[in-house]
Structure 1
Amino acid sequence: MPARAYSWGRYPRVSQAVTTILDRAAALPIFEGSALPHGNGRSYGDSCQNPGGTLLECRGLDRFIAFDPASGRLACEAGVTLGEIIALVLPQGWFLPVTPGTRHVTVGGAIGNDVHGKNHHVAGTFGHHVLSFELLRSNGERRLCRPGEADGWFEASVGGLGLTGLITQAELQLRRVPGSSLEVENIRFGHLEEFFTLSQESTGSHEYTVAWIDCLAHGRNLGRGHFTRANHAVQDADERPAAPRALRAMPLTPPVSLVNRLSLRPFNALYYWRQVAKRRRHASHLLPFFYPLDSISHWNRMYGPAGFLQYQCVLPPQSANDGIPALLQEIARSGQGSFLAVLKQFGARPSPGMLSFPRPGTTLALDFPNTGEPLAALLQRLDQIVDAAGGAQYPAKDARMTATSFQQAYPRWQDFRRFIDPRFSSGFWRRVTE
């Protein structure tokens, strides 16, 4: 069967076989070389790619097993997407306790990458809300993994990038919500110091916090942007915001990236000034708040045939106040900005996985059109800043992290190695460990 040639960033393009998994009770299929579980393909780099090997396509494991509307406990197969869970449970007063910026992520992928959301300072990562999962190994062994067990399998597999085996099913603890509405406040701020102040004052009062920044602003405007904070809201039926409109779509891949030096600067300036008032409060439906880009199907096509690279890092609290400005200054000088520049403070709750990315500090995420050598040179300079600050890059959004950077940022990688299924591998893992 032909392979999917690329991840969501459409880079790198690799050759690999694909085998579809449809039955969670069946043994793993026979495959050549190494294998890697693959969900809905929303990782950006090569952590979901296995060049020269086999992808175990798991989207077919899409069945719900059980849901208790009294307790919010949900059991489902690993190929169920977060969007499918929301469609089932939101009308019954439940929602995901943690969700990333797209609902088109499978449960297995959310566990394997230990995804985070806008409420990390309150709820931690996705793995904190996983009650159990089944792990199928290439030798036919099936393990039931639960948090807190001394054998280490839960800790290794949460954030384990699919390398410990195939997650076939999982049980999650959902959170009760009063409805589909959020009370949102959007605050325009003029420089980076205001972001840190707003983050600190919002931690105790708002469950969800995040900022968009103009990554091409410089000088006194360095780090200017919009700070958004929100809480779940109780509203009468006639006051509830409408559900999002039908999907728009990027119908084709343009011959060149629509994100370029000509479009970035005017877009960022217009977006910064889109809100005249400094502060604006409004009600929002859950879906456009959490998943703004899901409203545009195939939005990754706008970066053209060369694709794009996402760069997400986190800097620890003691170095973030100096390190984040240094990163933004380097990006502004390069002129290689991003429409999607997101800044957020992580909370202090320790992540449950050996290789989990979230940790206390400030995280910055940007999408860069793939310009080849100019982008490679910029990202190498950003790496130097992150490494010197004692920070880390996010494997799920990486396509070129060095082994030195990875091993410095994830010191438990050697402990993790003993849990790897001997027949599982990925392009990412080979790049950062061999």
Structure 2
Amino acid sequence: MAMTRSYLSWGRFHRFGHEAVRPSRDQDMPGLLGGALPHPMLAYGMGRSYGDSCLNDGGALIDMRGLDRFLDFDRDTGVLTCEAGVSLATILGVISRRAEPDALWFLPVSPGTKFVTVGGAIANDVHGKNHHGAGTFGEHVLSFRLARSDGSVMTCGPGENEPLFRATIGGLGLTGVILDVRLQLRLVSSLILEVEDIRVDSLDEFYRLSEDSLAEWEYTAAWIDCLAFGTALGRGIYTRARHAPAGTGPVRSRPAGADSGKTGSAKGRLGVPVSAPDGMLNNTFVKAFNAVYHRKLAGRKVVRRLVDFDPVFYPLDAINDWNRLYGNAGFLQYQSAVPDQDAYQTTRDQLGLIAEAGQGSFLAVLKTFGERRNPGLLSFPVAGTTLALDFPNRGNPTLDLLERLDEVTARAGGRVYPAKDGRVSAARFQASYPQWRDLAAHADPAFSSSFWRRVTGGHADHQDESPT
């Protein structure tokens, strides 16, 4: 039975009421989709999308976390079959407990949190620190079963219902409900990583280091001090990592709750039990944090370490509900991707705007995407540079800054990430994702989201607006 309750996205900026239901068997799905729920509908995973792409104001949500079973695993090929509500944390937990030296399987791609469902990872076609070598999550999906509102259940994959397969990858949950997935894991030598943290003192140095790291390092990304300016613009810490040789120590120490994937919370981890006072993460705090963080290498240029994968891939997962640090007003994340030809100057312009506005983020990540063919119609990456930042919600000043960042991004032919967005205009979205109409043609008519209605305006209302 559907219940009315409040579901939030991770930014806590949008607050909508929904009718929601949480099925525990995939056999329940045809009845739910066939009329038991009000339209429009949308599947909901763990709510780690930052904006409104996982929300459905005035409609119904299908909470997928009850469909969380492993169905099959082939230890010889690394093919995992599981229900769509299984979390990446759960997969990693099983991998950690059942690791075998001669067949050590690992996630092929992971975003910056493990508390996302497999279905959500497909719907947003998530990327990770290894995009230059592995591409997006969708590249490793072999097939899935998709339930539609007409009662059909379709198997989709390369060569079988392929147009619907491509529309569903990165399709923001609009094509129906993914029931279960066949996912190709990757063989690795160790769950220990060789890591180098390197101090970079300018944007030029970041790009030089990025180019030098592509051949030999699997995972690369940089934390950036986005309030630095002048010759220090782009300074930060560049981290590159790769799986260590088999048998490498030290003894692995799993963080408490590392295997938990049911709620995204776990006992034993640090937590933020209540929302912080609004304004706590102000400019003074961010400046102080950035200065301290940039000096954490204690005057050294490079720090080398051997460490478990968890703190390298998921540093913020160690803190339960860290989004509450931004207060009751929530926050907005801005993540853009800009093509290579204008990436350097555009990134300089973006960082300059942020420093000038004094609305810096202490969570600012800069990395380069590789030359990969996107598997989905609305997959986000482009060969170039992506910058991701969190901004405490200060009302119009924050929205104005994000609009100026949109202008810089659009001039370079870039775009923003739908999974992180909560306010981009329909005109800008449609200009930067010209295949959105192809997705609309494959969307299930009973499915929609707050994001989709915002950026399409009824599919055609905004097609003639200028994006500039």
TM, length-normalised to structure 1: 0.98
- Counterpart position of 1:253: 275
Is the CA contact (8 Å cut-off) linking 2:192 and 2:248 kept in structure 1? no
2:400 aligned residue (360, 368, 377)? 377
Change (3 A) 1:265 1:395: same
Q: How many residues align?
A: 434
Structure 1 residue 244, shift from structure 2 partner: 3.0
Structure 1 residue 20, shift from structure 2 partner: 1.3
- Counterpart position of 2:22: 20
Matching of residue 312 in structure 1 with residue 341 in structure 2: no
- The one-letter code matched in structure 2 to 1:299 is W
Deviations 1:199-246 (A, max 9, x none): 011011101000000000000000100111011002546534533354
Mapping for residues 161-240 of structure 1, pairs under 5 Å: 161-234=172-245, 236=247, 239-240=250-251
Please identify runs of 4+ aligned residues in structure 1 that moved more than 6 A: none
Structure 1 residue 417, shift from structure 2 partner: 1.1
Is the CA contact (8 Å cut-off) linking 2:133 and 2:370 kept in structure 1? yes
- Counterpart position of 1:46: 52
- The one-letter code matched in structure 2 to 1:86 is L
Q: Which runs of 5+ in 1 are unaligned?
A: none
Structure 1 residue 350, shift from structure 2 partner: 1.1
Matching of residue 123 in structure 1 with residue 146 in structure 2: no
Rounded Cα–Cα distance in structure 2 between residues aligned with 1:258 and 1:269 = 17
- Counterpart position of 1:114: 125
Is the CA contact (8 Å cut-off) linking 2:190 and 2:247 kept in structure 1? no
- The one-letter code matched in structure 2 to 1:425 is S
Matching of residue 157 in structure 1 with residue 168 in structure 2: yes
Rounded Cα–Cα distance in structure 1 between residues aligned with 2:145 and 2:339 = 34
Change (3 A) 1:72 1:109: same
Rounded Cα–Cα distance in structure 1 between residues aligned with 2:254 and 2:143 = 32
- Counterpart position of 1:402: 425
Matching of residue 9 in structure 1 with residue 32 in structure 2: no
Is the CA contact (8 Å cut-off) linking 1:244 and 1:285 kept in structure 2? no
1:266 aligned residue (282, 288, 293)? 288
- The one-letter code matched in structure 2 to 1:370 is N
- The one-letter code matched in structure 2 to 1:14 is F
Matching of residue 275 in structure 1 with residue 275 in structure 2: no
Is the CA contact (8 Å cut-off) linking 1:181 and 1:240 kept in structure 2? no
Is the CA contact (8 Å cut-off) linking 2:85 and 2:118 kept in structure 1? yes
- Counterpart position of 1:33: 39
Structure 1 range deviating more: 391-400 or 227-236: 227-236
Is the CA contact (8 Å cut-off) linking 1:119 and 1:209 kept in structure 2? yes
- The one-letter code matched in structure 1 to 2:27 is A
- Counterpart position of 1:429: 452
- Counterpart position of 1:137: 148
Is the CA contact (8 Å cut-off) linking 2:339 and 2:385 kept in structure 1? yes
Secondary structure (helix, strand or coil) at the match of 2:8 reads: coil
Is the CA contact (8 Å cut-off) linking 1:28 and 1:138 kept in structure 2? no
Change (3 A) 1:56 1:207: same
How big is the alpha-carbon RMSD for the aligned residues of Structure 1 and Structure 2?
1.2
Rounded Cα–Cα distance in structure 2 between residues aligned with 1:142 and 1:280 = 52
Is the CA contact (8 Å cut-off) linking 1:39 and 1:58 kept in structure 2? yes
- The one-letter code matched in structure 2 to 1:319 is D
Rounded Cα–Cα distance in structure 2 between residues aligned with 1:151 and 1:227 = 39
Structure 1 residue 149, shift from structure 2 partner: 4.2
Change (3 A) 1:139 1:378: same
Rounded Cα–Cα distance in structure 2 between residues aligned with 1:143 and 1:238 = 45
2:89 aligned residue (79, 83, 94)? 83
Is the CA contact (8 Å cut-off) linking 1:242 and 1:285 kept in structure 2? yes
Is the CA contact (8 Å cut-off) linking 2:190 and 2:248 kept in structure 1? no
